[in-house]
Amino acid sequence: MLTPPIGVLGGTFDPIHIGHLRPAIEARDALGLAEVRLLPNHIPPHRANPLCSSEQRLAMVRLAAADNPGFVVDERELRRDTPSWTIDTLVELRSELPDTPLCFLMGMDSLLGLPGWHRWQKLLDYAHLVVSCRPGWQPDYSVQVAELLARHQTRDIQDLHRQRHGHVWLCDNLPVELSATRLRALLAAGQDPKYLLPNPVADYIRRHGLYRSSATQ
């Protein structure tokens, strides 16, 4: 007997914003996720180091989670001193939660780039993939991603409850045209970020003087 699925959302969260949170809230509600785990990356394998410290990003993610029922923070990737490969995290979660379907949440940009991920073909052996639409990223699939969808896409929500892993779900979420890059630029220009991220996170950024200089873009 399986327990209800949980969502897992990894990210740099530099800072966390509504482009992360709205699709996750909609996935929680539409798919009946028992929980959404926010997993801040420590050493992002595919990108430059984040601007804020791990502690600051974690503090902001904690504030965002506290604001949303069912959201929890998973610090495991921050505690590692090796790269945060998603596959390693999913293997660990699978062994800790043997009877829980795992829904790995990602934006369309991540799905398009999936063939560049470490051991990407193994991801579906451990989790479902739940993909949110993201403005600027059209579903213009490479052959590899098109093949993945042909084999694994489902339109039946119950598949995400009946099986622990192995399906891809494309969300019909409200598109949110925001990136952390854009938000950092806005903050560096001294603009008010209200409604682009949770108020407690905006307060934290203000109190700690984060993202202030134009050098932080």
Q: Applying CB under 6 A, which residues contact ligand ATP?
A: 11-14, 19-20, 23, 106-107, 109-110, 132, 134, 176, 178-181
Given the complex with ligand ATP, which of 13 and 71 has the nearer CB atom?
Answer: 13
Beta-strand runs (E) in the chain? 6-11, 36-40, 71-73, 102-107, 128-132, 168-170
Handedness of CA 86, 217, 59, 23 (dihedral sign): negative
Closest CA to 183 of 202, 209, 208: 202
Q: Rounded distance, CA 88 to CA 94, Å?
A: 10
Given the complex with ligand ATP, which of 2 and 189 has the nearer CB atom?
Answer: 189
Given the complex with ligand ATP, which of 106 and 160 has the nearer CB atom?
Answer: 106
Given the complex with ligand ATP, which of 144 and 181 has the nearer CB atom?
Answer: 181
Q: What is the 3-state secondary structure (H, E, C) of 18-35?
A: HHHHHHHHHHHHHHCCCC
CB of 187 to ligand ATP, least distance (A): 12
CB of 46 to ligand ATP, least distance (A): 9
CB of 115 to ligand ATP, least distance (A): 15
